[in-house]
Amino acid sequence: EAPFLRIHNLNKIFQQRGWRRGKDVQAVKNISFDIAPGEFVGIVGESGSGKSTLGRMIMGLETPSSGQVLLNDQRLGDSDAEWQRRISSIQMIFQDPRSALNPRRRVASLLTQSMENRPAMRNDRELRARELVASIGLAPDMLARFPSQMSGGQRQRVNIGRALCDVPQLLVADEIVSGLDVSVQAQILNLLLQLRQQHKVALLLISHDLAVVRYLCSRVLVMHRGEVVESGPTETVFAAPAHVYTRQLLAAVPPSDPFARWPQSA
């Protein structure tokens, strides 16, 4: 299927101030790739390789120094209209749901927060909250809870449900299972697989954990010092890495057998 998202020659240079003046950091260097509808793409690389900066530029949380993000062949920039178009199609899920979720809102309100400034009927919002709570695998009585009354895994489900409220084409997920227990990780990863089937949503999964990427993603990009040094089908790249950095990464963090690690989900 034709890609709906194209990343073209994306660059990001952070200009340093004060005593670090002059020591600019090129966090992302000339990155180009596409994502097709429903495709799960992984980005791996050690800490500081530029993964988050790339994800944040796609989401629009960081302005590229040069290059383009094209959504359905239209360029996404900084204007209000482009921002609206971007957030209705691309949503980001962050690592720590505790800090991402407003502690004073109940689950029903958190799930449908994006609807609150729209002239929608109150009933529509209630109905959407019920649909979302079911699709993230939580019981309806959870709708009345506050984030502090849920487990970490439940909070991460709410975080994912929130992102799905406006039926996005892409979820950008930055280290979303790294803080969770292994059994809870399996539940969240399986939820993402299920959502792909139900909603055909695509996923850009940023992770330092190669097993997570191997479990979910058909394609992987390996980042090193801001560059994509290697990319291809996940199994091929992990089984026969072409770049020396990928081999180092695999030696440092073996992708392990994801089915051994999350056996109940196999």
List residues near ligand ADP by CB under 6 A. 14, 25, 27, 45, 47-53
Question: What backbone phi and psi angles, to 5 degrees, belong to 17?
Answer: -120, 175
Q: Which is nearer to ligand ADP, 86 or 224 (CB)?
A: 224
Q: Which is nearer to ligand ADP, 55 or 161 (CB)?
A: 55
Q: Which is nearer to ligand ADP, 25 or 184 (CB)?
A: 25
Q: 3-class SS at 161?
A: helix
Q: Which is nearer to ligand ADP, 74 or 178 (CB)?
A: 178
Residue with structure tokens 């954990």?
209
At closest approach, how far in Å is the CB of 48 from ligand ADP? Answer: 4
Pairing label, strands 219-224, 40-44 = parallel
Helical packing angle, 152-164 and 122-135, nearest 10°:
130
Q: Which is nearer to ligand ADP, 53 or 112 (CB)?
A: 53
The separation between CA 68 and the C-alpha centre of its own chain, rounded to angstroms, equals 19
> Measured between alpha carbons, how far is 90 from 7 in angstroms, rounded to an integer?
13
At closest approach, how far in Å is the CB of 203 from ligand ADP? Answer: 17
At closest approach, how far in Å is the CB of 194 from ligand ADP? Answer: 27
Is residue 145 within 8 Å of 137, Cβ to Cβ?
no
Q: Which is nearer to ligand ADP, 25 or 193 (CB)?
A: 25
Strands (E), the chain: 5-14, 25-35, 40-44, 66-71, 74-75, 90-93, 170-174, 202-206, 219-224, 227-233
At closest approach, how far in Å is the CB of 109 from ligand ADP? Answer: 31
At closest approach, how far in Å is the CB of 206 from ligand ADP? Answer: 7
At closest approach, how far in Å is the CB of 65 from ligand ADP? Answer: 12
249: which 2 tokens?
A: 């990464």
